[in-house]
Amino acid sequence: MFMRGLKRKCFDGEEDIEGTLAGIKAIPSYNLQRQSLLDMSLVKLQLCHMLVEPNLCRSVLIANTVRQIQEEMTQDGTWQMINMQNTGQTSVDRLVSTDILCRSSREQAEGKHVPGYSTFSKDFEGDQAQDSSETMSTASSVQALRNLQSNVWEMENSQENKGNFQKSLDQIFETLENKSPNSVEDLFSEVDNSYYDLDTMLTGMMSNTKMGHCDGLEPFPSPTTTTSSSNCKSDLNELDHIVEILVES
């Protein structure tokens, strides 16, 4: 479906004269390029102005690109590799209740796209088992994403449907992890499944702690896995701690 040679072109464009030689050398790094495109896209989704509403068209286009990459990675079997390495499955049940609560409040609110994409941490955790060179870039982007994520959630927790769009992507990843990656249709079929992901849990936690905003709009009971929910302001250690708990349980 994708002509490998074609994708290489855009990167080779930078390399000018030794393009032809680089082309031959670039064949094995197609995955790396695709991965970096994926990383770039995810970072783009994160880095939106929070002062002014982000551009919906741009976000939709980037998200569609991410989906496309994920589809291809599924077909390649790359995704399957990630799936096998993933260990964060067992904690799923504990998150269900939180998620349902988060979802029900959110669905009442007016639909509004807020591309506060946060961690696709599960995917990246899986990635870390892969090729080390690829891991370097993804690991650092995971950190970057987590940093941004906490800031992003800070500002958005009182808004309607903040996780909706990001949830769609998380859901895609979730579907890929839980089901057979061969059934690509599954990517979009299970819209109504609970979202067993870190983001939703964190959403619940964040919303809970910002009492001023939430009281009037979305009264969340405290999520079961919240340990210290008093100050979630960009506390990276906090998030790591929670991730640790989830992964280990």
Partner 1 sequence: MKIHRRIGALRKMKCFPCQFSNTVKSTQFNTSALMSVFEQADIISTVEFNHSGELLATGDKGGRVVIFQQEQENKTQSHSRGEYNVYSTFQSHEPEFDYLKSLEIEEKINKIRWLPQKNAAQFLLSTNDKTIKLWKISERDKRPEGYNLKEEDGRYRDPTTVTTLRVPVFRPMDLMVEASPRRIFANAHTYHINSISINSDYETYLSADDLRINLWHLEITDRSFNIVDIKPANMEELTEVITAAEFHPNSCNTFVYSSSKGTIRLCDMRASALCDRHSKLFEEPEDPSNRSFFSEIISSISDVKFSHSGRYMMTRDYLSVKIWDLNMENRPVETYQVHEYLRSKLCSLYENDCIFDKFECCWNGSDSIVMTGSYNNFFRMFDRNTKRDITLEASRENNKPRTVLKPRKVCASGKRKKDEISVDSLDFNKKILHTAWHPKENIIAVATTNNLYIFQDKMN
Binding residues vs partner 1 (CB under 8 A):
1-3, 6-7, 9-14, 34, 37, 40, 44, 49-53, 55-58, 60-61, 63-65, 68-69, 110-113, 155, 158-159, 161, 164-165, 167-168, 171, 188, 191
Angle of CA points 184, 201, 238, to nearest 5°: 125
Report the nearest approach of partner 1 to the CB of residue 125 (Å).
Answer: 23
Angle of CA points 229, 167, 179, to nearest 5°: 110
Residue 8 or residue 225: which is nearer to partner 1 going by CB?
8
Report the nearest approach of partner 1 to the CB of residue 249 (Å).
Answer: 27
Report the nearest approach of partner 1 to the CB of residue 68 (Å).
Answer: 6
Cα 124 versus chain centre, distance:
9
DSSP 3-state of 227: coil
Helix (H) or strand (E) holding 34: helix 30-46
Round to whole Å and give the CA distance between 146 and 161: 20
Residue 61 structure tokens: 């286009």
Report the nearest approach of partner 1 to the CB of residue 178 (Å).
Answer: 17
Round to whole Å and give the CA distance between 244 and 247: 5
Report the nearest approach of partner 1 to the CB of residue 6 (Å).
Answer: 6
Among 32, 206, 225, 228, residue whose Cα is nearest residue 119: 206
Residue 171 or residue 226: which is nearer to partner 1 going by CB?
171
Report the nearest approach of partner 1 to the CB of residue 53 (Å).
Answer: 5
Report the nearest approach of partner 1 to the CB of residue 64 (Å).
Answer: 6
Residue 106 or residue 122: which is nearer to partner 1 going by CB?
106
Round to whole Å and give the CA distance between 229 and 211: 11
Write the burial class of residue 37 (CB in 10 Å: 0-12 exposed, 13-18 middle, 19+ buried): middle
Residue 53 or residue 240: which is nearer to partner 1 going by CB?
53
Answer whether 173's CB lies under 8 Å from 70's CB: yes
Residue 4 or residue 230: which is nearer to partner 1 going by CB?
4
Residue 39 or residue 177: which is nearer to partner 1 going by CB?
39
Residue 97 or residue 168: which is nearer to partner 1 going by CB?
168
